[in-house]
Amino acid sequence: MKSAEPTGAPVALVSGANRGTGLAIARELHRRGYRVAALNRTLLGEDWLYEIQCDLADPAAVDGAVGQVLTRFGRLDVCVTNAVDRTFATLAEMDPADWDRAVAVNLTSVFRIVRASLAAVRAARGSFVIIGSHAGTRFFEGGASYSATKGALKALVETLLLEERAHGVRATLVSPGAIANEDGDETPYKMATESVARCVGALVQDQPSDLVIGDIEIRPAQLPVPEISGIARLQHV
């Protein structure tokens, strides 16, 4: 891998970093001293962020984008997969094309990013952080594609950890509850994106050398009055 930049500072790659949790994670890693690259469908154009426009549903685009990051920086220390496709519909009404896109973005793109970046993360003895969801274990009406793809990440990350721990690579599945991802969302029953980002920052930079955190849940500190069905149920656990 040929670098076009000085290689002193560590490098982090974040997918889906143009808004919400992904942007907060990118900013937190930048604050912690990382040079940050992002695979974004929509570009922000901020000077501190090296962005590549990428549709994560396109496998060839994912492979090419990760390759561009490695060519640009010559190293990769941290890889965070955050991008997600959320399509909610009952099984009876779900468009198969929506199912296919959810699988492509939420699951297959994670595999492609890991596979394309693994040699570099190995060389750095670095970390993968895969953002899952409570929906991966707590199911709800209309959430089949979202829950199925988030649930499959458990197997992917655990296998990655088992296979790569001998090479000094860490892999953690982070499964959040409700996050205030939308601008202006001030509900007290959701976690701030900045709080989730701080958790990710600590995972990649502050873990003791003699342990590996393979799987964690993070939950809002406050609980609302229980709802009876749907995705709102995930806020009550």
Please give the chain's pLDDT, 237 residues, in tens: 333 444 589 999 999 999 999 999 999 999 999 999 999 999 999 999 999 999 999 999 999 999 999 999 999 999 999 999 999 999 999 999 999 999 999 999 999 999 999 999 999 999 999 999 999 999 899 999 999 999 999 999 999 999 999 999 999 999 999 898 888 787 888 999 999 999 999 999 999 989 999 999 999 988 766 665 666 666 555
- pLDDT value, residue 2: 37
Is residue 64 domain-resident? yes
Is residue 6 domain-resident? no
Output the pLDDT for position 83.
Answer: 94
Domain that holds residue 212: 11-236
In a domain, 1, yes or no: no
What total of structural domains would you count in the chain?
1
Give CA–CA dist 111/199, Å, rounded: 23
CATH number for the domain that contains residue 176: 3.40.50.720
- Candidates 34, 50, 146, 189; catalytic one: 146
- Asked, for residue 152, whether it belongs to a domain, the answer is yes
Instruction: For residue 22, tell me if it sits in a domain.
Output: yes
Residue 3 domain flag:
no
**CB under 8 Å to 8, separation ≥6 — which residues?**
none
Q: Is residue 5 part of a domain?
A: no
The CA-to-CA distance between both ends of the chain, in Å, stands at: 45
For residue 113 the two structure tokens come to 């990013």
Reply yes or no on whether 189 is catalytic.
no
Residue 76 lies in a domain: yes
Alpha helices, H only, the chain: 20-31, 59-73, 96-103, 109-124, 144-164, 193-205
What pTM did the predictor assign?
Answer: 0.90
Sheet holding 49-53, edge to edge: 49-53, 35-40, 11-15, 78-81, 127-131, 170-176, 215-218
